[in-house]
Structure 1
Amino acid sequence: MYLNDRLVRFAFPVSLLLSTTLVLAQPATKPKPTKAPASQSVSAPAKAGFDLSKPIPTDPAVKVGKLPNGLTYYIRKNAEPKNRAELRLVIRAGSVLETDEQQGLAHFMEHMEFNGTKNFPKNELVNVLQSAGIRFGADLNAYTGFDETVYQLPVPTDSANVFRQAFQILEDWAHNATLDPKEIDKERGVVLEEWRLGRGAGQRMRDKYFPLILNNSRYANRLPIGKEDVIKNFKPEVLEQFYKDWYRPDLMAVIAVGDFNVNEVEGIIREKFSRIPAVPNPKPRTEYDIPAHKDTKVVIVTDPEQPNTVVQVIYKRPEIKERTLNDLRESIKRGLFNTMLGNRIQELTQQADPPFLFGYSNYSDFLGNLDAFTSVAVAKEGNVERAIRAVLDENARVKQFGFTETELARAKQEFFTGVEQAYKERDKTRSSNFVNEYVRNFTDKEPYTSIEFYYDFLKKEQATIKLAEVNALVDQFIRNENRAVVVMAPDKDKDKLPSVEQIISYIDNAGKGLTAYKDETLNKPLLAKEPVPSPVVSEKPLKDIGATEWTLKNGVKVVVKPTNFKNDQILFSGTSYGGTSLYALKDFMSARFASTLATLGGTGEYNQIQLGKFLAGKSVSAFPYIGELNEGVSGSAAPRDLETAMQLLYSYLTQPRKDADVVKGFLSNQKSALQNQINTPTPARVFQDTVSVTLGNYNPRRMPLKPEDLDKIDLDRALTIYKERFANAGDFTFFFVGNFDEKTLKPLVEKYLGGLPTNGKPEKFKDLGIRIPAGQISKTVYRGVDPKATVQLVYSGDFTWTTDNTTQLDALAEVLEIKLIEKLREEESGVYGVGASAIYSKYPVPRYTFRIGFGCAPENVEKLIAKTQELINDLKQKGAAQGDINKFKAETRRETELQLKDNQFWLSYLANQYYNDDDLNEVLQEDEHLKKVTVESTKEAANNYFGNNFARFVLMPEQKASTSTASQQGGGKQ
């Protein structure tokens, strides 16, 4: 896998540059800083104050050392999850260090580490780990960035042999790769398929604008995926030279966090990694910069497959290196700034005619030696000027008038609540949360500190941060020099786009005629009238799973499972049968959007914006929903905020609020986004629509959403449907899992769930008769200019609903996927990834769907489908190999070990078992069901489920000669 870690961590600005898909979601508002660390070490007693000139203290729970050969190691004991460890091998070398003839070989080298080492020839490494229950891809993985390559290995620690073997794997990766020329040639095809997957409008436009916004730096022409001709034609010795130059101990770190003995692990690391010889005259490891520029770089790119118009204004500035406590304090200020500005821009979408589909501004990491303050707007109806001006005006409003004291107080509450939650969970923090901190410390010298210290520091220092300090940041962030603008748009809109000069004028002239922001809040109880409680009238212990079922006088059922998996987490949900299935087609759109439109209005007397402000600093969520066969609510709370969460749940279900203006703006934005998709349909979208409507048998409820469908929504009817769906709580079952005391929870349940209305009429869903068509189906879609194809093969049919049958289906999916990876990827070098999955449901009638999917070169479609069918036929004739069955069982048992200690698993499990009326002890009987998975049972399952109901879908490029049609305008202005 190739990516740049810095693009992912705080990467909204640059990651959006790497993607052209529209995500209608609120942007992350975390600061760039040393984040609230995950730690359970014990720090010194709280001090009266801090000397801000002192360095940020490192977490004493981490044992850091350096071997004589230069290799660094980080070791930390952490018992969550039990009997598990997270291991990493970090190489401080990535694609930026490649020579011209090596472009793509840092990433290729990562691939080759899984294709033969001294102690694990060919694919034996993957085989060994799968047999220990470690999944390839999901668990065992790696990534290559511009500046680093990181190998990820989560392992069990309750097997001394597997645990030691894991360190042998790390050592082999470090200096024992065999780089067999035959294996290299086989892997070329796999890497080329990964390269092929990355092709599309985003790649074509990125290739145009990257050199400009990165000022023709080394980063602009060293993307980790590399170049096709290099991947196809490099000589093995060129790859060997990269390995020799950069895989050396002075550029390596081994990281181990988990449930183990620290001294024992240190001994293993010293034993194995001291064997790596130091390089006598190492090649200098150049640190590349992105040069600054005085002018404004503007680049306008269009593409026939780009569905919307996106504008990004990037104010680049030197990277902030956090070293001292004052730096830590500054990072908190940036986080507060991001939060407040993000909230303001989000409010712009909550009006009758929003100026953009999506927008945000924030400060974060950028790339190389730079940070950036980035403003992004996705234009509505292609109106670039209105969209970007709206975002830039909010930046300017801060510049002219600043934030308000009440905004700052809420932002401080939000920030502190997040850190406090991490502090409360310090003894329940997962090992996976720690390792990335140590990776960044090694690669970027980012400090890591304990959560105890950070919590203490925040508690004291955040109170000293004044509004004027935060307001002053905008002058640091927004400056005319080192500025870049990217406009991405559909080809069809090329002639409508503003010129370079117009775009610069929009930026330079933003902020005229503004007035100060008014922070409108509401200071009223969430519930105007207290509910009338209804007591628990019966209790049923569910001892085997540690739960209890309560029945309230009003008919509501409540299942509670107290746990100690998390200290500050309570999860809840509730559901009943019904859903949109009970409404005629004429009401379908109103029913489909009913819960969305109701929550857009807020609840009670609080509109959506006021509700967000009311809940600021509280760890609370509640989301009502209406599905096809059921309706319900899901949410979470910290124990201290549980009553607020219950009030919010009660309020949503009993006093929905109508806000016609917000709904109008929401529907306007949705229509615009849908129209963009119709005007410039992406190949993937057309293909998935084809799959969906075909498998949905062209039922109107399975057709793709169109702009005119939204005209069928009647707000009043939608709210009536919403009220009808939640009018009878008597047929609801609610579930609570997490850190609560039943004695504390019960009165809240009796008050807020017992107070819900009931009418004594239990409902059932309606079977709409929507089924995947029987028989053979074959459809080929011709879309797209790139030389790539997508394949989906679907088997379906009726299903006998038993736990044994679902286990057999899961096993069939896993053993087939193992074989597909071996055949299509490792032997044929025809795919990068391939998946096989089984989906089954009991309602409205028991059915199963088995899907196989992969991407490949168009010329390989028929060959790879034929190979897939050969594997299926082999399963039908012989069953699965015993070794593959053993891998499935090992992976399943390991996964279940973790799930049994996870609140989210138990919430979903309990809800599903009740919904399907299944045995509540099923998960405790897993071994009995796994024993029934045999060679013969997989043979029988293959014959049962790979039947005559078969649908084949293929996406192929358009049948005409075509080349990349991305166009570009560019320019600069002082």
Structure 2
Amino acid sequence: MVRFSLSLSLLLGTTLVFAQPAAKPKSTSIKPASRVSKSSPVSLSVNLNAPIPLDPGVKIGKLPNGLTYYIRKNTEPKNRAELRLVIRAGSVLETDRQQGLAHFMEHMEFNGTKNFPKNELVNFLQSAGVRFGADLNAYTGFDETVYQLPVPTDSANVFNQAFQILEDWAHNATIDPSEVDKERGVILEERRLGRGAGQRMRDQYFPVLLNNSQYAKRLPIGTEEVLTTFKTETLQQFYKDWYRPDLMAVIAVGDFDEKQVEGIIREKFSRIPAVKDAKPRTEFTIPPHDDTKVVIVTDPEQPNTVVQVIYKRPEIKERTLNDLRESIKRGLFNTMLGNRIQELTQRKDPPFLGGYSNYSNFLGNLDAFTSIAVAKEGNVERAIRAVLDENARVKQFGFTATELARAKQEYFASIEQAYNERDKTRSASFVEEYVQNFTDKAPFTSIEFYYNFFKKEQEGIKLAEVNALVDQFIHNDNRAVIVMAPEKDKGKLPTVDQIIGFINDAGKGLTAYEDKTLNTPLLAKQPTGSPVVSERSIKEIGVTEWTLKNGVRVVLKPTNFKNDQILLGATSFGGTSLYDLKDFQSARFSSTLTSLGGTGEYNQIQLSKFLAGKQVNVFPYVGELSEGINGSVAPRDLEVAMQLLYSYFTQPRKDADVVQGFISNQRSALQNQINTPTPARVFQDTVSVTLGGNNPRRQPLKPEDFDKVDLDRALKIYQERFANAADFTFFFVGTFKEEQLKPLIEKYIGGLPASDKAEKFKDLGIRIPAGQISKTVYKGVDPKASVQLVYSGDLTWSPETTTQLDALAEVLEIKLTEKLREEEAGVYGVGSNAAYSKYPVPRYTFRISFGCAPENVEKLIAKTQELVNDLKQKGALPADIAKFKAETRRETEVQLKDNQFWLSYLQNQYYNGDAPDEVLHEDELLKKVTVESTKEAANTYFGPNFIRLVLLPEKKSESGK
């Protein structure tokens, strides 16, 4: 897997690929602090010149050969460990003849090592319940290559073999020439997937943005010429030069005996000989420039106009306690500026589709302060001026004391939860800190130390200090501007001089920011509650059901999986299905438009400020067949969450100006997609319309659809959907005691309006069409294809049936990966997925999807059909069935200790009317998955209803050939 670019998806799925490389937030290895009382004393004894102390919970060692190791015992999740092998070498170290081989080497580690020939490594781990891709994975960046191996620790054999795998990766890769040649196709397919407008524009602006440095010349994916022609010896040389112990770290975090793990590491990795006369590991830099570099790039498949202003500056290395204090100031600055820019989208006529300003890591030896704006109707000047004016407003007037107080509260709250969860932190959360420590010397301290440090320092951080940062961030030298736009708008774009003028002239005629807040109760009138009148216990799964006097059902599952987390949800039948087509658009946007208004007396901006520093997230939704509430809250803020929930039910608020701005932005984004439709968008629209039987409710959203949205009607529909609480089931999962939660539930949920009227959804008759359908979309200039093969039909709803479908999907994906990727080298990845639902009627959808070269479409579809037919004739191999069972059991072990799983599971079980304790019978269901059952399932679900959907490049005209 390649890791090097940043992309964000905003605005109805429009993908905006920004110019900068993957930005790492400053101090990701340092955990922010928690909230403390205002009376906490500021210590005068802290020596800010002292180094940041490393977390004493981590054992760090170094072998005589130079290999570094990190070991931490951590019991969340139980019987699991996260292992990493980190190589401080990536694509930036390649020679001209090795471009792409750092990444190629990463692939080859899975294609044969001394102790795991061919595909045995993947087979062994799958048999132990480790999924390839989802669990077992790796990535290559500019400066490092990281191998990820999560494994169970309750099997001594599997755990020991996992370290053997790490050792093999470190120095025992076989790099067989025949395997190299097979893998070329897989790598080329991965490279093919990355092709498109973003890649074409990046190839133009990277040399300028990165000032022709080595980074600009060494994208990890490499060049097609090298990938197709390099000799095996060239790859072997890269492995020999850079896979050596002085550039390696082994990281182990998990539920194990630390001394035992240290002994295993010393035994296995001491066998790697130190390299004499090692090749110097050059630390490449990106040279500065005094001028402003401007690059304007266009592409026929770029849907939006995106402007970035990037102020590059030397990287801030965090080493001392003063550096740690400075990182807190930067975090406060980013928070306040981000909140201001977000407010601009709440206007009647927002100046852009999206934007932000932020200080973060950049690449190599640089950090960057980056301002980004996505222009509305292609208006570059208005978009970038709006963002830069906010930067300038800070420069001229600074932030306000109330903004800083809120930012500190947000900072406190975000980490207080981490501090409270310090004994429940998952192993995966730790390993990235140690990777960064090894690759970039980024320090990692304990949450306990950071918590106390913040308590001592946070009040001493004054407004003037934070305001002064803007002068450090914004400067005219070492500045780059990247404009990406649709090809059709090339003639409308401003010139380089005009763009520089926009930037230099920003900030004229500004006034100071006015921090408008509301200081009134969220609920003007307290609800009149109703008591619990009946109780039912489901002891097998630790669940209690309450029925309140107003008819509401509440399902509770107290857990100890987290110390500071309560998840909540509510669901009711109905949704947009109950409304005629003329009201469909108003209904589908009803919860969105209502939420944009805020709630009660609070508009959305005021509500956001009111909730600052509180760990509360509650949001309503209206779907097609149901409506409800989802959210999360820290126990200390539970009453605020309950008030917000009550308010969303009883005090919906409309804000016509904000809604007008939202709709204006959505229209503009959709029009961009229509004017410059991307191949992926066109194909996905075709898939949705086809699978939706061309139903009006499955058509792509168009700008004119917003003409059918009526705010008053949307608000009325929302009120109707949430008028009767007795038609809802509420769910609470997490850290609470029932007796403590009971008064709040009786007051706020018991106080909701309710009646004895029960609603059901309406079956709209939308089904995937029966029979055989084939559709080919011709769109795009790149030589790449996408394939989706869809089977569908009616279903007998039962846990046995859905388990057989899951098994069929997994065993087929295993075989598709072996055949299409490993043998044919025709795809990078292939998916096999079974989806099923009970409502409106029990149905299943089985989807197979992959990307490939256009000339390979028919061959790979034929290979897929061969595998499907093989399953129908013979059933699955026992070994593949065993892998499915092992993976499922291992996944469930972890899920049963996860609050989010339980919330989703309970909501689904009650929604479908299924047994709440079904999960406890998984082993019985898995025993029923056999060779014969997979054969029967294949014949049942790979039936006559088959849809073939293919995306191919646009056909060239005869004159263009």
TM-score by length of 1: 0.96
Once residues 602 and 883 of structure 2 are traced to their aligned partners in structure 1, the CA distance between those partners, rounded to angstroms, is 53
CA contact (8 A) 1:782 1:959 kept: yes
1:32 aligns with 2:26: yes
CA contact (8 A) 2:23 2:360 kept: no
Deviation at 1:49, TM superposition (A): 3.8
From 759, 764, 787, the counterpart of 2:755: 759
From 320, 338, 342, the counterpart of 2:338: 342
Deviation at 1:419, TM superposition (A): 1.2
1:329 corresponds to which residue? 325
Residue identity opposite 1:696 in structure 2: G
SS at match of 1:114: coil
Aligned residues: 949
Residue identity opposite 1:906 in structure 2: W
1:282 aligns with 2:278: yes
Deviation at 1:760, TM superposition (A): 1.6
Deviation at 1:37, TM superposition (A): 3.3
Residue identity opposite 2:681 in structure 1: R
1:595 corresponds to which residue? 591
Once residues 38 and 346 of structure 1 are traced to their aligned partners in structure 2, the CA distance between those partners, rounded to angstroms, is 23
From 719, 738, 743, the counterpart of 2:739: 743
CA offsets 1:204-244 (integer angstroms, 9 cap, x no match): 00000000010000000100000001000100000000000
2:57 corresponds to which residue? 61
Once residues 379 and 147 of structure 1 are traced to their aligned partners in structure 2, the CA distance between those partners, rounded to angstroms, is 34
CA offsets 1:347-388 (integer angstroms, 9 cap, x no match): 000010000000000100100000000000000000000000
CA contact (8 A) 1:38 1:450 kept: no
Once residues 22 and 715 of structure 1 are traced to their aligned partners in structure 2, the CA distance between those partners, rounded to angstroms, is 29
CA offsets 1:845-873 (integer angstroms, 9 cap, x no match): 00000000000000000000000000000
CA contact (8 A) 1:38 1:429 kept: no
Once residues 542 and 668 of structure 1 are traced to their aligned partners in structure 2, the CA distance between those partners, rounded to angstroms, is 50
1:217 aligns with 2:224: no
CA contact (8 A) 1:375 1:392 kept: yes
SS at match of 1:851: strand
Q: Superposed, which structure 2 residues align to 1:229-240 within 5 Å? A: 229-240=225-236
2:686 corresponds to which residue? 690
1:305 corresponds to which residue? 301
1:430 corresponds to which residue? 426
From 648, 668, 675, the counterpart of 1:652: 648
CA offsets 1:904-955 (integer angstroms, 9 cap, x no match): 0000011100000001110000000000000000000000000000000000
CA offsets 1:773-805 (integer angstroms, 9 cap, x no match): 000000000000000000000000000000000
SS at match of 1:381: helix
SS at match of 1:21: strand
Deviation at 1:21, TM superposition (A): 1.6
SS at match of 1:282: coil
Once residues 594 and 87 of structure 2 are traced to their aligned partners in structure 1, the CA distance between those partners, rounded to angstroms, is 51
1:862 corresponds to which residue? 858
1:391 corresponds to which residue? 387
In 2 relative to 1, CA 177–892 (structure 1 residues): closer, same or farther, beyond 3 Å? same
Once residues 640 and 172 of structure 1 are traced to their aligned partners in structure 2, the CA distance between those partners, rounded to angstroms, is 49
1:173 corresponds to which residue? 169
Once residues 67 and 35 of structure 1 are traced to their aligned partners in structure 2, the CA distance between those partners, rounded to angstroms, is 24
1:526 corresponds to which residue? 522
2:38 corresponds to which residue? none
1:187 corresponds to which residue? 183
Deviation at 1:731, TM superposition (A): 1.0
Once residues 658 and 255 of structure 1 are traced to their aligned partners in structure 2, the CA distance between those partners, rounded to angstroms, is 52
Deviation at 1:95, TM superposition (A): 0.1
Residue identity opposite 2:207 in structure 1: P
1:123 aligns with 2:119: yes
Q: Superposed, which structure 2 residues align to 1:250-649 within 5 Å? A: 250-649=246-645
CA contact (8 A) 2:59 2:71 kept: yes
CA contact (8 A) 1:622 1:636 kept: yes
Once residues 715 and 782 of structure 1 are traced to their aligned partners in structure 2, the CA distance between those partners, rounded to angstroms, is 38
SS at match of 2:534: strand
CA contact (8 A) 1:30 1:335 kept: no
1:914 corresponds to which residue? 910
SS at match of 1:686: helix
Q: Which runs of 4+ in 1 moved over 3 A?
A: 28-31, 34-40, 45-49, 961-964
Once residues 520 and 796 of structure 1 are traced to their aligned partners in structure 2, the CA distance between those partners, rounded to angstroms, is 54
From 656, 662, 667, the counterpart of 1:666: 662
Deviation at 1:46, TM superposition (A): 11
Q: Superposed, which structure 2 residues align to 1:960-971 within 5 Å? A: 960=956
SS at match of 1:33: coil
CA contact (8 A) 2:193 2:784 kept: yes
2:3 corresponds to which residue? 3
1:799 aligns with 2:807: no
In 2 relative to 1, CA 955–520 (structure 1 residues): closer, same or farther, beyond 3 Å? same
CA offsets 1:527-575 (integer angstroms, 9 cap, x no match): 0010110110000001111010000011100000000000000000000
Deviation at 1:759, TM superposition (A): 2.3
CA contact (8 A) 1:574 1:634 kept: yes
CA offsets 1:149-168 (integer angstroms, 9 cap, x no match): 00000000000000000000
1:968 corresponds to which residue? none
Deviation at 1:39, TM superposition (A): 12
CA contact (8 A) 2:214 2:284 kept: yes
1:91 corresponds to which residue? 87
CA contact (8 A) 1:579 1:629 kept: yes
1:967 corresponds to which residue? none
- What's the C-alpha RMSD, in Å, of the aligned pairs? 1.8
Once residues 126 and 510 of structure 2 are traced to their aligned partners in structure 1, the CA distance between those partners, rounded to angstroms, is 61
Deviation at 1:721, TM superposition (A): 0.3
Deviation at 1:963, TM superposition (A): 15
Residue identity opposite 1:603 in structure 2: T
SS at match of 2:309: strand
Once residues 921 and 910 of structure 1 are traced to their aligned partners in structure 2, the CA distance between those partners, rounded to angstroms, is 9
Residue identity opposite 2:650 in structure 1: T
Give the unaligned 5+ runs of structure 1.
965-974
Residue identity opposite 1:809 in structure 2: L
Once residues 46 and 805 of structure 1 are traced to their aligned partners in structure 2, the CA distance between those partners, rounded to angstroms, is 63
Once residues 2 and 286 of structure 1 are traced to their aligned partners in structure 2, the CA distance between those partners, rounded to angstroms, is 21
SS at match of 2:138: strand
Once residues 481 and 433 of structure 1 are traced to their aligned partners in structure 2, the CA distance between those partners, rounded to angstroms, is 37
CA contact (8 A) 2:29 2:443 kept: no
SS at match of 1:22: strand
1:813 aligns with 2:790: no
Deviation at 1:29, TM superposition (A): 12
2:110 corresponds to which residue? 114
Once residues 859 and 536 of structure 1 are traced to their aligned partners in structure 2, the CA distance between those partners, rounded to angstroms, is 66
Deviation at 1:22, TM superposition (A): 3.4
CA contact (8 A) 2:24 2:361 kept: no
In 2 relative to 1, CA 350–894 (structure 1 residues): closer, same or farther, beyond 3 Å? same
TM-score by length of 2: 0.97
CA contact (8 A) 2:536 2:545 kept: yes
CA contact (8 A) 1:34 1:322 kept: no
SS at match of 2:15: coil
Residue identity opposite 1:414 in structure 2: E
Residue identity opposite 1:449 in structure 2: T
Once residues 780 and 113 of structure 1 are traced to their aligned partners in structure 2, the CA distance between those partners, rounded to angstroms, is 37
Residue identity opposite 1:32 in structure 2: K
From 22, 27, 35, the counterpart of 2:16: 22
Residue identity opposite 2:523 in structure 1: L
Once residues 835 and 841 of structure 2 are traced to their aligned partners in structure 1, the CA distance between those partners, rounded to angstroms, is 13
2:243 corresponds to which residue? 247
CA contact (8 A) 1:71 1:252 kept: yes
